[in-house]
């Protein structure tokens, strides 16, 4: 039954598939141009990069999943790229940007692996690590950008707090602490509406792999709650680093 469902639901590579992808990119770019959003080129670049990167990963993943050493290198490279990406968003590509991502991912990944909630095999570790790293990266970028923008636009309030005797860190935190909450809105919305609005990737992937709907739901729940923990840690630490002047100030 599982293999039947998998074969029926798998995307088929064909000329039609390529045409559909191209049309979707054109739609996104056209809407952006008509709306005078200066993101036409980034949309095309992001789409092309996705094609190239996924093609490369598809070739590499077979070798990676056969070796714990290569798996460790692969996960480390994901962390590095995530930190580099968030650093670019925050205007500071330095090792400090990796701290919120690593601080969020490490304890959560360790818990699910040491508890054997997720099988300790490369084929299980790589996808769960990738999902958690991606969530931490997003939270870091969102929290950092919002916190830095708040400090720029509310500079007068920041200086007023200093005049009242607040330390530099405390004055900054008074203004940009809400940025951590705002960075968690996407994760919260996804968790609140799971099964009602969307069927996320982990659920669909496990289901297509031949597991029962209950097992797929359990896997997805673990991912969603894990992401909430990861992103909360990453967002809070990012705002703290911004307040201390370690990021962007």
Instruction: Indicate if the pLDDT at residue 2 is higher than 60.
Output: no
pLDDT tens-digit profile of 93-109? 678 999 999 999 999 99
The predicted model gives 56-60 an average pLDDT of 78
On whether the CB atoms of residues 147 and 238 are closer than 8 A, the answer is yes
Both tokens of 69, joined, read: 């050493």
The predicted model gives 169-196 an average pLDDT of 87
In angstroms, rounded to a whole number, what is the distance separating the alpha carbons of residues 158 and 181? 20
Least reliable range by pLDDT among 2-16, 142-156, 161-175: 2-16
Both tokens of 61, joined, read: 């993943």
Instruction: Indicate if the pLDDT at residue 54 is higher than 70.
Output: yes
pLDDT at 59: 76
Instruction: Indicate if the pLDDT at residue 170 is higher than 50.
Output: yes
Q: Is 149 left (phi over 0), alpha (psi -120 to 50) or beta?
A: alpha
DSSP 166: -
pTM flag (> 0.85): no
Query: In the chain, which ranges are continuous DSSP H helix?
Result: 2-9, 15-34, 40-64, 68-90, 98-114, 122-153, 155-163, 168-176, 178-183, 185-193, 201-208, 213-243
Q: List Cβ neighbours of 200 (8 Å cut-off, separation of 6 or more).
A: 190, 194, 220, 223, 224
pLDDT at 211: 66
Partners of 194 in beta bridges: 198
For 65, phi then psi, to 5°, come to -70, -5
In angstroms, rounded to a whole number, what is the distance separating the alpha carbons of residues 46 and 43? 5
6 or 191: which leads in pLDDT: 191
pLDDT at 229: 95
pLDDT tens-digit profile of 142-166? 999 999 999 999 989 989 988 988 8
pLDDT band at 202 (very low <50, low <70, confident <90, very high): low
**Following CA atoms 119, 124, 125, 127 in sequence, which dihedral angle do they give, to the nearest 10 degrees?**
-150
Establish how many alpha carbons lie within 13 A of residue 189's alpha carbon, considering only the half-sphere containing its beta carbon: 8
Q: Is 45 exposed, middle or buried, given 0-12, 13-18 or 19+ CB atoms closer than 10 A? A: exposed
Both tokens of 183, joined, read: 């960075």
Residue 39: CB atoms within 10 A of its CB come to 14
The predicted model gives 166-193 an average pLDDT of 88
The predicted model gives 32-49 an average pLDDT of 91
pLDDT at 1: 47
The predicted model gives 230-234 an average pLDDT of 95
pLDDT band at 5 (very low <50, low <70, confident <90, very high): very low
pLDDT at 84: 92
Nearest to 91 by CA among 170, 43, 152: 152
pLDDT at 206: 66
């Amino acid at each position: 039954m599982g293999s039947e469902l998998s074969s029926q639901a798998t995307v088929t590579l064909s000329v039609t598939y390529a045409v559909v992808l191209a049309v979707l990119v054109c739609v996104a770019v056209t809407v952006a141009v008509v709306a005078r959003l200066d993101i036409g080129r980034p949309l095309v670049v992001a789409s092309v990069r996705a094609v190239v990167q996924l093609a490369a990963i598809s070739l590499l993943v077979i070798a990676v999943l056969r070796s714990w050493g290569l798996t460790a290198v692969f996960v480390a490279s994901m962390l590095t790229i995530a930190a580099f990406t968030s650093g670019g968003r925050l205007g500071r590509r330095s090792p400090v940007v990796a701290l919120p991502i690593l601080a969020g991912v490490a304890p959560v990944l360790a818990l699910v692996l040491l508890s054997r909630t997720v099988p300790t095999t490369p084929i299980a570790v790589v996808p769960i690590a990738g999902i958690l790293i991606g969530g931490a990266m997003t939270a870091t970028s969102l929290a950092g950008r919002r916190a830095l923008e708040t400090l720029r636009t509310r500079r007068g309030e920041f200086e007023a707090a200093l005049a009242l005797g607040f330390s530099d860190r405390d004055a900054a935190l008074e203004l940009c602490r809400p940025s951590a909450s705002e960075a968690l809105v996407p994760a919260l919305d996804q968790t609140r509406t799971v099964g009602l609005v969307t069927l996320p990737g982990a659920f669909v992937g496990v289901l297509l792999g031949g597991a029962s709907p209950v097992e797929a739901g359990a896997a997805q729940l673990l991912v969603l709650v894990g992401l909430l923990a990861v992103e909360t840690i990453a967002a809070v630490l990012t705002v703290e680093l911004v307040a201390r002047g370690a990021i962007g100030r």
